[in-house]
Amino acid sequence: MISRNHLVFFLILSFNLTLQTSMASSSSSERVTFHFSSLSLQNLTLLGDSYLRNGVVGLTRETGVPSSSSGTFIYNTPITFLDRTSNSTASFATRFTFSVNNANQLSSSGDGITFFLSPENQTLGSPGGYLGLVNSSQLTKNKFIAIEFDTRLDLHFNDPNDNHVGLDVNSLNSIKTADCSSIGVDLKSGHLITAWIDYWNDGKNLKVFLSESSKKPIYPILDIDIDLSQFLQEIMYLGFSASTEGSTETHLIHNWSFTSFGIRHSKPRISNPHNVTDNTVSNAKNPVIEVPVSANHDKHRKKIGLVIGVLGPVFFCSVLIVFGYISVKKWRESKTDMNIQAELLTGPKQFSYKELKAATNGFHSSRIIGHGAFGSVYKAVLGSGTVAAVKRSKHSHEGKTEFLAELSIIACLRHKNLVPLQGWCVEKGELLLVYEYMPYGSIDKVLYQESGHLGFLKWNHRYNIAIGLASVLSYLHQECEQQVIHRDIKASNVMLDANFNPRLGDFGLARIMDHDKSPVSTLTAGTMGYLAPEYLQYGKATDKTDVFSYGVVVLEVCCGRRPIEREQEGHKMVNLVDWVWELHSKGAICDAVDKRLNNEFELDDVRKLLLVGLSCANPDSEMRPSMRRVLQILNNESDEIMVPKMKPTLSFSHSLPLSIEDIIVSSEHDDEPVIRID
């Protein structure tokens, strides 16, 4: 409860701040502000190799082998920074959290990440030391003001070291730099790093603050006296860029907020237009007749009294409303936590936050073993010595929604092909789920031999994966009291235990519905390449949309190819379903099998599994089998389904959205998550 003294202090402070703001607004241009706790494509444009995944923008290509890459993302709406008539510029402040990770510690690091202002909304530069900001063949083409966070020593641009911050204006030769090591920050550590950039126009000063915590430091790492009015244009675009060259380093922007305080226009001093001193006026032959000080003082006091009399009650009521809202919100949250606890007393174990924090070494970045719709997954060593996987919320509204969905669904499910839930924690604002640790990770990590995953899937393992996944989906669709639609069946959500048995996980997007009810339209959620065409079109998730995703996973396991990938020669993207169907039309479907298997398989089993994959991935949902039927076919308990030689085509109404841009919806204003393009 807030004490009376604190409340009075808060009232006075709020009044003074609001009064100053209202006075400033009369002489300033419009204030612009935004805050993205989770990034989305509704307000941003992605260029180059940048991509959006789970509300985080990756600026450079995510790969296990060294490569060269550059990417940019830009805020779509330009911001007014300069008034040419008065040559006044806007003060601004921005805050963002980023991380620089390296999938292969043996690979070289570099090159860095920048926050920039540019008159162009298509700024994209070359890989390497050009930071995705400058074109290597036209060094002076792109105009910008940028703060660089450089992770490679590049003597060509006079870099001081491989861990510095610098101010760049129309050139990558920084005007001033600062060593991040001086404040104990390592840009390449993989930790979340928060940066604050403040420019004060009146003082012609720019400051950059940097920290591995969310608390703004007292002292800046970079403090520069500079007048940006000579470099700013009337409107500018905001954005981020990054690049690599021969490196596996990735550059991620996790959140971003920005405020432009508007352009102040100085008011003319009518009583003293020539800026002469008071002594000069008093000694002139025709002195100015001055108004008595007491009269001015009385008028000033009356104005202040009127303002306080009008605005005082308004601010008092506003504070009470805010205080009441916060109190009710906290009460509801505590009530929700109590309800969760009551429902799970007989279910999985409730862990303490202290216990899980210690088990994950303080949720250290080195313990991260994966990311999902819900958030990050950490490897944990519990007090008993048991190894577990801890899923941690993204601390957002979507994260909490997905946490409650996953917890309420999977806590009631029991099947040998599900990732077992061992416990949970709702404490200190954290949302945590504890799962049994899967030593081989997900299917895709083993299939594509990501760094640190040395297993290889033999044919008997692959066939067993198809059977196990069909078994658990049959259970979810037809054997549970209420039907469970997973909505995110994909290779990265199917884990492998110590015996290579499949375990389905990540129920953050799952939905429960009665068996006899029709599906309800929702925002499309899932991963491109695994989504059924009718789900993309109408937004209705059913058991048939899960069947389609299962079919893609089966083809992926058989062929050792991703659902959508680039041709080895050329830039054409190849859809796995289309590729296998084309081979089927030529009577050569078995040619699609993963060549790494070296013919160590039964040809009939290969043919059967590929045909099952195509039948499940049929564009016509009515032609797809149920998961129970699929399980029977794979166990030789039912005849195979006839798959047409030519892939069926479907037509949709033109009044409905067909483009990805029409389908993607911001997660900031809706309870449903957005499509994730992996």
Tell me if 182 is assigned to some domain.
yes
* CA-closest candidate to residue 508, choices 431, 393, 406, 421: 406
DSSP assignment of 148-174: EEE-S--GGGT-S-SSEEEEEESSSS-
Pull the structure tokens for residue 204. Answer: 């012609």
Q: Is the pLDDT of residue 3 over 80?
A: no
Tell me if 15 is assigned to some domain.
no
Lowest-pLDDT range of 487-491, 521-525, 558-562: 521-525
Q: Tell whether 410 and 534 lie within a shared domain.
A: no
Tell me if 126 is assigned to some domain.
yes
Q: How far apart are CA 95 and CA 147, in angstroms?
A: 12
Q: Tell whether 643 and 558 lie within a shared domain.
A: yes
Catalytic position from the list 159, 488, 506, 678: 488
Final residue of a structural domain among 260, 282, 307: 260
Q: Kindly report the pTM of this predicted structure.
A: 0.49
When pLDDT is cut at 50, 70 and 90, the band that residue 397 belongs to is low
Tell me if 424 is assigned to some domain.
yes
Final residue of a structural domain among 436, 467, 488: 436
Final residue of a structural domain among 201, 236, 260: 260
pLDDT per position as a tens digit, 224-263: 999 998 898 889 999 999 998 877 789 999 999 999 987 7
pLDDT per position as a tens digit, 318-343: 777 777 777 666 656 555 554 544 44
Residue 223 annotated among the catalytic residues of the structure: no
Tell me if 173 is assigned to some domain.
yes
Q: Tell whether 543 and 424 lie within a shared domain.
A: no
Q: Is the pLDDT of residue 143 over 60?
A: yes
**Strand 193-200 and strand 92-102: pairing?**
antiparallel
Q: Domain range holding 463?
A: 443-676
**What is the domain-level CATH number for residue 556?**
1.10.510.10
pLDDT per position as a tens digit, 411-467: 778 889 998 888 888 777 778 889 899 988 889 888 887 544 545 789 999 999 999
pLDDT at 59: 93
Residue 517 counted as an annotated binding residue = no
Q: Tell whether 51 and 112 lie within a shared domain.
A: yes
Q: What angle do CA 606, 608, 611 make, to 5 degrees?
A: 105
Tell me if 269 is assigned to some domain.
no
- Give residue 537's identity as a one-letter amino acid code: Q
Q: Tell whether 495 and 374 lie within a shared domain.
A: no
Q: Tell whether 468 and 418 lie within a shared domain.
A: no
Query: Is omega for the bond preceding 111 within 30 degrees of 0, making it cis?
Result: yes
pLDDT per position as a tens digit, 156-191: 888 899 899 999 999 999 999 999 999 999 998 889
Tell me if 466 is assigned to some domain.
yes
Q: Tell whether 431 and 526 lie within a shared domain.
A: no
When pLDDT is cut at 50, 70 and 90, the band that residue 565 belongs to is confident
pLDDT at 86: 76
When pLDDT is cut at 50, 70 and 90, the band that residue 570 belongs to is low
Q: Tell whether 427 and 504 lie within a shared domain.
A: no
Q: Tell whether 377 and 459 lie within a shared domain.
A: no
Residues 562-571: what's their mean pLDDT?
A: 79
Residues 10-31: what's their mean pLDDT?
A: 45
Q: Is the pLDDT of residue 401 over 70?
A: no
**What is the domain-level CATH number for residue 405?**
3.30.200.20
Give how many domains the chain has, as a whole number.
3
Q: Is the pLDDT of residue 592 over 60?
A: yes
Q: Tell whether 223 and 90 lie within a shared domain.
A: yes
Q: Tell whether 107 and 239 lie within a shared domain.
A: yes
Q: How far apart are CA 66 and CA 250, in angstroms?
A: 11
Q: Tell whether 390 and 498 lie within a shared domain.
A: no
Q: How far apart are CA 369 and CA 364, in angstroms?
A: 11
**Strand 430-436 and strand 387-393: pairing?**
antiparallel
Tell me if 270 is assigned to some domain.
no
